[in-house]
Amino acid sequence: MRTTEPSAPSAPLEAPRGLKGVIVTDTALGDVRGAEGFYHYREYSAVELAASRGFEDVWHLMVHGALPTPAERARFAAQTAALRHLSPEVRAALPAVARATGASGPLAGLRTALSLTGAAAGFRPVYDLDPAARQADALAACAAVPTLLTALHRLGRGLEPVEPRDDLPCAANYLYMLTGEEPDPGRARAVEQYLISTVDHGFNASTFTGRVIASTGADLAACLVGAVGALSGPLHGGAPSRALDTLDAIGSPDRIDGWLREHIAAGERIMGFGHPVYRTEDPRSRLLKGIAREIGGELVDFAVQVEERAEALLAELKPGRELHINVEFYAGVVMELCGLPREMFTPTFAAARVVGWSANILEQAADSKIIRPSARYVGTPPPRPVPAA
């Protein structure tokens, strides 16, 4: 009788630090083509969508795979507007969440509030749900996030939350809940374009985190809480206000070169410049720069001067590196011009990105394979005797 020797286990594949350039799965949701300075949602340019469509249209595209017809747009807008209202249990708990998170701000509170929202709504593991039920949970969570964020912000300032309005589109309703006032249409459109431009952006850290959690079969709220945690890091979503802080630190045009040279020479990162994927100008920054220039003002003029000098000095002092402005640079300028407090910059990013996270979670949930990579052990080589106690 012939026997076959068992084959030796294959050596694990080596991967670069940060998984840079590693393809981990297939997706139909979109892509980032860094060498070209281009990104898209499904088959459409994200920048063109931001220029010509509303937020609800793009949300529909990400969830349903197609841009809506006028009738579908009306139905989807009505469906999602009705989901903006929080349950009594969640509303009652938000003051305590706001007090507990305090100076950490609404994004920290969102992690707790999202978890509570999912529990109160009875979200079940995506592993146990059919696609329609998963999609229903995703829409409910996405619709609730702007309401949660604005309520936490207002409570943190000693103000009562503002109930959402069903007659306003997403961006205008967000500004209304934030300020309690009817939003200026031009400012609302500028915020809407920002929201559209940040819905999704390939397998960034927060999206990948959400997909890893989804691969375990966890409920949708758990997946989103993990994604929010990843977004909170200053190397990911925590930079828009920091880029604006850089403009404040420079202060005036006569200080631009001196300030930049000093900080570049010290090896410090200039917030708002450089991106791990793009080797050209970030197309989102190009869009937002155009929006900022349409609004105009001294802040915009100063930001343009800083951008031009920073790119020139980075090219001079760091030759061979492609360091251009990224989305955070003009995102901070646009949000400042539209009246958003700086502590709400990254939460506003989350209010948009939750749509992309949810679409990725739904896509991942359709695959029953858990994401389980390996690590290379570099400690003291085993085996080693255990010392006596």
Structural domains for the chain = 48-233+343-365 (1.10.580.10), 240-337 (1.10.230.10)
pLDDT in tens, 133-154: 999 999 999 999 999 999 999 9
CA distance 331 to 341: 13
CA 80 from chain centre, in angstroms, equals: 20
**Structural contact between residues 58 and 198, judged by C-beta atoms closer than 8 angstroms:** no
CB-based burial label for 214 (10 Å; 0-12, 13-18, 19+): buried
Residue 10 has pLDDT above 70, yes or no: no
Residue 112 has pLDDT above 60, yes or no: yes
Closest Cα partner for 132 from 218, 73, 63, 84?
Answer: 63
Specify the pLDDT at position 338. 95
Specify the pLDDT at position 170. 97
Q: What's the average model confidence in pLDDT over 61-79? A: 98
Question: Letter for the amino acid at 241?
Answer: S
Residue 272 has pLDDT above 60, yes or no: yes
Q: Which tokens hold the place of 110?
A: 């969102």
Specify the pLDDT at position 310. 86
More confident residue, 123 or 279: 123
260: phi > 0 → left, psi -120 to 50 → alpha, else beta; which?
Answer: alpha
Specify the pLDDT at position 12. 63
Q: For the range 1-5, what are the long-range contacts, defined as Cβ-Cβ under 8 Å and sequence gap of 24 or more?
A: none
Specify the pLDDT at position 3. 43
Alpha helices (H) in the chain, listed in sequence order: 46-52, 55-64, 70-82, 88-101, 106-120, 131-156, 170-179, 185-197, 205-215, 220-231, 240-250, 256-265, 283-295, 298-317, 327-337, 345-365
Q: Which tokens hold the place of 62?
A: 């990400």
Query: Which amino acids are annotated catalytic?
Result: 275, 328
pLDDT in tens, 151-195: 999 999 999 999 999 999 999 999 999 999 999 999 999 999 999
Residue 4 has pLDDT above 80, yes or no: no
Q: What's the average model confidence in pLDDT over 120-126? A: 98
Least confident of 8-17, 248-257, 332-341: 8-17
pTM, to two decimals: 0.90
pLDDT in tens, 303-343: 999 988 988 888 888 876 767 777 788 888 999 999 999 99
283: confidence class by pLDDT, cuts 50, 70, 90: confident
Residue 356 has pLDDT above 70, yes or no: yes
DSSP character at residue 146: H
Least confident of 2-6, 76-80, 236-240: 2-6
